[in-house]
Amino acid sequence: MADNRTMAQMLQAPIEGYEDAIVVPPINANNFELKQTLINLVQSNQFIGRQDPHNHLCFFNKVTSTFRHPEVPNTTVKLLLFPFSLEGEARIWLDKEPSRSILTWKDLVSKFINQFFPPSKTMYSRNKITNFLQKSNETINEAWERFKDLL
């Protein structure tokens, strides 16, 4: 089949592949905007790829729960804000994800945890929980508090 494009069309740079990985659902709300203060708050604790991703998600969830709009689901706000919470290695990871491959908040959390909390860390944590013992010099309450920290 012959290529019917002109030479000028053939020389144009491709525009495919520049879409974000995260697909944010359409927002059909009047007067919706993300305030700069909320973005700044999210950016105050950016994840660079070496911290605990669960702690990052807990912080992120707390911050995003402070913003409410009656016509916009909280998960949509999270999808909009999450890229602002990443820096360095973590931002590079998100930028390398295939275009339009993250459709829901659940998708994003799953991919994020799988990337930054690999199975080896899971096994290490599971072993610490499974092999937990109360120390001879600690009370049951102290042991319980220490055990809860492992969860």
Q: Please give the average per-residue pLDDT across 102-130, as a whole number.
A: 92
Cβ–Cβ < 8 Å for 42, 98: no
16 pLDDT more than 80: no
Q: Which 3 state secondary structure label does DSSP give 22? A: strand
Report how far residue 79's alpha carbon sits from residue 18's, in angstroms, rounded to the nearest whole number: 18
The residues facing 47 across adjacent strands are 86
List the single range of 10-14, 27-31, 63-67, 90-94 with lowest mean pLDDT.
10-14
Query: For the segment 97-110, what is each residue's pLDDT rounded down to a tens digit?
Result: 999 999 999 999 99
Cβ–Cβ < 8 Å for 22, 108: yes
Report how far residue 23's alpha carbon sits from residue 62's, in angstroms, rounded to the nearest whole number: 22
Residue 122 confidence class, pLDDT cut points 50, 70, 90: confident
32 pLDDT more than 80: yes
- Quote the pLDDT of residue 8: 81
23 pLDDT more than 90: yes
Q: Please give the average per-residue pLDDT across 16-24, as a whole number.
A: 86
Say what the pTM is: 0.73
1 pLDDT more than 60: no
Mean pLDDT, the chain, rounded, equals: 92
Query: For the segment 37-87, what is each residue's pLDDT rounded down to a tens digit?
Result: 999 999 999 999 999 999 999 999 999 999 999 999 999 999 999 999 999
- Quote the pLDDT of residue 25: 95
